Amino acid sequence: MILFFLLSLTFFVVLSIPIGFALGLTSIVMLIFLGDTNFFIVPQNILKGADNFSLMAIPFFILAGEVMNEGGLSLGIVRFVQTLLGHIKGGLGYVAIVASMIFAGISGAAVADTSAIGSVILPIMKKEGYDVNKSTAIVCAAGTIGPIIPPSIPMVVFGVVGGVSITRMFLGGFIPGVITGLLLFISWRVVTRNDKFVTYKRASRQEIWAAFLEAIPSLMLPIIILGGILSGIFTPTEAGVVAAVYALVVSIFVYKRINFSQFRSVCIKSAKSTSVVMLVVATATAVAYVVTIAQVPRQLGEMLMAATSNKYVILLIINLLILAVGCVMDVSPAIMILAPILLPITTKLGFDPVFIGVMVVYGLCIGLLTPPVGNVLYVGCGLSKIDFIVLVRHVAPHLIIYTIVLFLITYIPSLILFIPNLYL
């Protein structure tokens, strides 16, 4: 049954059918294979998949990211970080990493993070004589931290599908995200060790203070989101609403970079992005239901237990599966398929669902930097007008960092669970 499921889904994907429709068709084909002609199950579960209050966080975080991108809030973040790190050799690379980590606390999406920070920092890096391929690679690698540091749209999806606390998952992603950012400092230093950069004097206290004042409205948003969630003032879903409203108010009344016509365009872009994600979530719910009644999780669990009884080896196998799936499928649909399959297996082995959720999201995010899907890479190519294969080659050293961190958090679960256990 597992093989039939994979073959069906692969067949529809190879035909270039959008993943949302491919998932719906797969659920119908599996029902036929099971001899069940009650096809009303499919639309019923599609409706059930979309009718979830927690999923409301997705459109609001998408809107917040689009508003901040259009409103230029990322510009203030970049300028402030540049006053802190711009004097270091290759400093703009470090600026891109730190700015992306800060913006990750707002958008919750890798594509939004890469687009917002890359559109600001890449022209500056090009003007200062940085290698365009290396610059784009580090911006893409840093932007992929977006769904790892809270808030995170993929974590919302996993939490809804798996019935896992979204707040605990948000907190669980903080340390892995910070570790990734710090290690990207090392990979950037290694790849640019022989490059020649123009050096600048350290910014004065007055310059740092002026840049900080300009960036305060942007820097406050991650604090408001996390502070509100941790204090219990609002839920992750309500945090999405707060983020969207705050970003809109700041963009219109503080930075004054968005007017009515621009806001209309932002809403249309956000609606398009939301519709894609929600269609995938809805149709994947139908697939998850059919997969469950077909006993695919039980079969996979039996296969893994037959192969080995060592739970750490099983984690290794799961990670390899995650990395393979991430290469050929975007994060959200992959979560919708894998979560119902992996959670019963890992829970039976005694693993915390929050730990598994963060690990799965992190592993699938690596696929954003690998062909053939590599959505973040396509954003980078669009920003810098460079060849896709060239960018893949230059992003490889940073991929090593992500892989190292994936196995670190896999075999040291406290890196994920320390903060959630501390607060909740």
72-121 pLDDT, tens digit per residue, is 777 888 889 989 988 888 889 999 999 999 988 877 788 888 888 888 88
Question: Does the structure show a pLDDT above 70 at 1?
Answer: no
Name residue, tokens 């290469």.
Answer: 327
| Rounded-to-integer distance, Cα 336 and Cα 319, Å | 16
| Rounded-to-integer distance, Cα 131 and Cα 310, Å | 46
Question: Does the structure show a pLDDT above 80 at 189?
Answer: yes
- 252-265 tens-digit pLDDT: 888 777 877 788 88
Quick one: tokens of 254?
A: 């503080």
Report the residue count for the chain.
424
Q: What domain range includes position 281?
A: 2-423
**Global pTM value:** 0.86
**pLDDT for the residue numbered 250:** 85
- Asked whether 66 and 240 are in contact (CB, 8 A), the reply is no
| Rounded-to-integer distance, Cα 2 and Cα 328, Å | 18
Structural domains in the chain (count): 1
Question: Does the structure show a pLDDT above 70 at 197?
Answer: yes
Quick one: tokens of 423?
A: 């607060």
**pLDDT for the residue numbered 424:** 65
The percent of residues above 70 in pLDDT, for the chain, comes to 98
- 293-343 tens-digit pLDDT: 777 767 777 777 777 778 889 899 999 989 988 887 778 888 888 888 888
- 142-188 tens-digit pLDDT: 999 989 998 888 998 899 888 899 999 999 999 999 999 999 999 99
How many other C-beta atoms lie within 10 A of the C-beta of residue 378?
Answer: 17
Phi, psi (degrees; rounded to nearest 5) at 73: -65, -25
Q: How far is CA 10 from CA 25, 272, 305, in A?
A: 11, 25, 26
**pLDDT for the residue numbered 191:** 93
